[in-house]
Structure 1
Amino acid sequence: MSTLQTLDRGLRALDVVARSSNGITVADLARELDVHRAICYRIVATLEAHALVARTEDGRIRLGVAIPVLASRFEPQLARDVQPLLQELADTTGATAFVSAAQGTDCVVIMVAEPEGALLRVGYRVGSRHPLDTGAAGIAILALRPEQPGDPESVRVARRDGYSLTRGQLEHGAVGIATGVALPDTVAAGLERSVGVVAIDGLDTERAAEAVIRAARALEGLVTA
């Protein structure tokens, strides 16, 4: 397969910048790309012209404002493809299924599906917001992040088990199960997501956990296919 070298270098540069949380100098970026500094300056200038990267006051390169704009345009496409998958998860488990996103220190519900014929529903709706370290959805997102010495026990357990399980943290009697969705460069692109289910007692947690993990892998496949 043939590729355009200049475009390939530009995309690789974006990837390097995205992984550099404190920004990166042109010299360091040139070393990462294994190109002459003059070539790297032209790559950066081109990306900067399209607002894909920006320079800090000290000259370091970081992601630009066009990145979240592209991400926001990606969301409606993802929602359209994910909704049937989410409905299947709800029907399989008999519980409210959801996709949540990290927004700062909060976890926000961005998609919901209810099981067919459900009589008792949990008050977990689009726009519901709670701290990331409370509730299965947020804990699952934290478990995807690199391990930190101060990680709560709930995050360490979720990282070990592959899913988080909480009881009564957000609503009395509610049981929540969620797992993180490992999209490429999730933190840098602002695309930290989790998928899960929540129900009032009686949830078969083992069966639900398996279904949630399958849904997460299917969702990842939609993005990376």
Structure 2
Amino acid sequence: MSTLQTLDRGLRALDIISQSPTGISVAELAAELGVHRAICYRIVATLEAHSLVARTDSGRLRLGVGAAVLLSRFEPQFLHGARPVLTELADRTHATAFVAAAEGSECVVLMVAEPSDAMFRVGYRVGSRHPLHRGASGIAILALRPPNERDPEPVRQARRDGYSITTGELERGAVGVSAGVPADGQSLERSVGVVALEGLDTDKAAAAVVDAARRLARLVAT
């Protein structure tokens, strides 16, 4: 498949800049891209014109407000695509299904779907918040991050298994099963899971949740 070289370089530049917490100089960016500095200046000028890149007081490059605007527009599109996946997961497991995201040190519920045959519902609602280290949804997100020697055992276990199972951490008697949604290095930390008060087959739920996570990952990648 043929690609447009200039656009490809611009997108690569954005990716490189996004991975530089303290910013990156034009010379460093040119070296990373393998292009002459004059070409790099033109790439940067184009990105600046669209507010995708900005300069710090020291002249280093960082992502601009335009990148945040694009991200804010992506979220509704992602959730729209996630709705049928979540509805199917809820019916498949006969449990409340949800998508959650990391926001600072907290885990926030973005979307919830109830099974069509639900008789009892768990109090897990859109906007619900809890610490990342509590509950299957937050632990699954932490397991997506690079291993750290300070990781607690539940995070290590979730990383090994590909999903997290917790009992009674957020609500007495509630069992949660969650898997992180891979995003190929993007700063989009999400998990998908189910929660039920009783009768949840955790083995089947884990398989269904991992499958849903793979399907949601394709929404992020496309």
**Which moves more between the two structures, 43-52 or 95-104?**
43-52
Contact 1:19 1:185 in 2 (8 A): no
- Cα distance in 1 between the residues matched to 2:21 and 2:98: 29
Q: Aligned-pair RMSD on alpha carbons?
A: 1.2
The correspondence of residues 171-210 of structure 1 with structure 2, limited to 5 A, is 171-187=171-187, 191-210=188-207
How many corresponding residue pairs?
222
Q: Report the Cα offset of residue 163 of structure 1.
A: 0.5
Contact 2:94 2:117 in 1 (8 A): no
* 4+ runs deviating over 4 angstroms: none
Deviation at 1:104, TM superposition (A): 1.0
**CA distance in 1 between partners of 2:118 and 2:83 (Å):** 18
Residue aligned with 2:83, SS: helix
In the TM superposition, residue 10 of structure 1 has moved relative to its aligned partner by 0.4
Distance 1:146 1:172 in 2: 31
User: For residue 82 of structure 2, what is the aligned residue in structure 1?
Assistant: 82
Partner of residue 95, structure 1 = 95
2-structure distance, mates of 1:217, 1:163: 12
Q: Which residue of 2 aligns with 1:149?
A: 149
Q: Distance in 1 between matches of 2:98 and 2:186?
A: 18
Taking structure 1 as the reference length, what is the TM-score of the superposition? 0.94
Alpha-carbon separation, structure 2, partners of 1:142 and 1:28 = 31
Question: What displacement does 1:222 show?
Answer: 2.9
- Structure 1 partner of 2:20: 20
Unaligned runs of 5+ in 2: none
Q: Residue 140 of structure 1: SS of its match in structure 2?
A: helix
Shifted more, 17-26 versus 171-180: the winner is: 17-26
- Structure 1, unmatched stretches of 5+, are none
Shift of 1:77: 1.6
Paired AA for residue 91 in structure 1: D
2:213 maps to 216
Structure 2 matches for 1:30-179, cutoff 5 A? 30-179=30-179
Deviations 1:102-160 (A, max 9, x none): 11111100000001121111000000011111111111111101111211111111111
Contact 1:109 1:126 in 2 (8 A): yes
